[in-house]
Amino acid sequence: MSGLKLYHYWRSSSSWRVRWALDLKGVPVELVPVSLLDGESESPGHVARHPLGFVPVLETSEGLLTQSSAIAHWIDETFPGAPALFPEDTWSHCKVLQLADIICSDTQPVQNLNVLQMHSPDPARQKEWARHFISRGLAAYEELARPTAGEFSVGDSLSWADLCLIPQLYNAARFDLSLSQYPLLARIAARCEALPSYLSSHPSRHEPKP
Ligand SMILES: N[C@@H](CCC(=O)N[C@@H](CS)C(=O)NCC(=O)O)C(=O)O
């Protein structure tokens, strides 16, 4: 299958999850940048792709797909085989989802740009809000991952949980939140940072050139 297009923004953590999943599976994709800062994501063209004006959006031959977790499932099932984003065993699969949802449902959405802007126009108050919710989310992840982690968040294989965690750690750093309180997350991050798919999907590789 070819002809996939990913509408993304270089610094969006949700976009990074999907860039990483595609890269890890070796799936060719055309990356189409959509700026979150200059109104492009709110344009009629993009809102037609995603009613909330968010990224990522994956365009496939079957149609458009939003929501990074749905996209991850689609990728894993459409391109089966190693490396898998989700373990085959049901319990481990659900443990991956549990951790991923701590990030995708309970942490990233409350520090999203539109929430910060609605909270306050003051960057200092935005930062305080983001740090509060990110630190709670990461503490919960650390606790929940303690019994499941091996080399990575669930066992010894990289999974969708790690692909959600690491971009959230990047967001944490943007808000000057230290990882010192999360030794397990720091250890998983160090392993991930050595992976070629981490490097090629990293925001710094996709930052538009001036
Ligand atoms: N639940 C969505 C979240 C998507 C999302 O929040 N995207 C952010 C960027 S990371 C966005 O487009 N934000 C635009 C805004 O806040 O206005 C997913 O997992 O794909």
What is the Cα–Cα distance from 159 to 151, expressed in whole angstroms?
11
Q: Are residues 68 and 129 in the same domain?
A: no
Q: Are residues 191 and 106 in the same domain?
A: yes
Q: Is 112 in the pocket of ligand 1 (CB under 6 A)?
A: yes
Which pLDDT score, from 0 to 100, does residue 82 have?
86
How many domains does one find in the chain? 2
Helices (H), the chain: 13-25, 44-47, 68-78, 90-104, 113-119, 123-145, 160-174, 183-192, 196-201, 203-206
Which pLDDT score, from 0 to 100, does residue 2 have?
62
Q: Are residues 76 and 107 in the same domain?
A: no
> Residue for token digits 């709110």?
42
Give me ligand 1 centre to Cα 86, in Å: 22
Q: Are residues 129 and 72 in the same domain?
A: no
Q: Are residues 101 and 147 in the same domain?
A: yes
Q: Are residues 74 and 57 in the same domain?
A: yes
Report the CATH number that the domain containing residue 106 is assigned in CATH: 1.20.1050.10
DSSP assignment of 126-160: HHHHHHHHHHHHHHHHHHHHTTTBSSSSSBTS--H
Q: Is 14 in the pocket of ligand 1 (CB under 6 A)?
A: yes
Report the CATH number that the domain containing residue 39 is assigned in CATH: 3.40.30.10
Residue nearest to atom 13 of ligand 1 (CA): 54
Q: Are residues 190 and 202 in the same domain?
A: no
> What are 111-158's pLDDT values in tens digits?
999 999 999 999 999 999 999 999 999 999 999 999 999 999 999 999
Structure token digits, residue 70: 């749905």
For residue 74, the enclosing domain spans: 5-83+198-206
Tell me how many degrees the CA angle 18-94-98 measures, rounded to the nearest 5.
Answer: 70
Q: Which residues contact 71 (CB under 8 A, 6 or more apart)?
A: 18, 21, 56, 58, 65
pLDDT along the chain (210 residues), means of 10: 89 98 97 96 97 98 98 97 95 98 98 96 97 98 98 98 98 95 97 97 93
Q: Are residues 136 and 67 in the same domain?
A: no
- pTM equals 0.97
Give me ligand 1 centre to Cα 112, in Å: 7
Q: Are residues 141 and 56 in the same domain?
A: no
Q: Are residues 95 and 173 in the same domain?
A: yes
Residue nearest to atom 17 of ligand 1 (CA): 114
Q: Are residues 79 and 98 in the same domain?
A: no
Q: Are residues 170 and 191 in the same domain?
A: yes
Residue 19 · residue 8 · CB < 8 Å? yes
30-33 vs 5-8, strand pairing mode: parallel
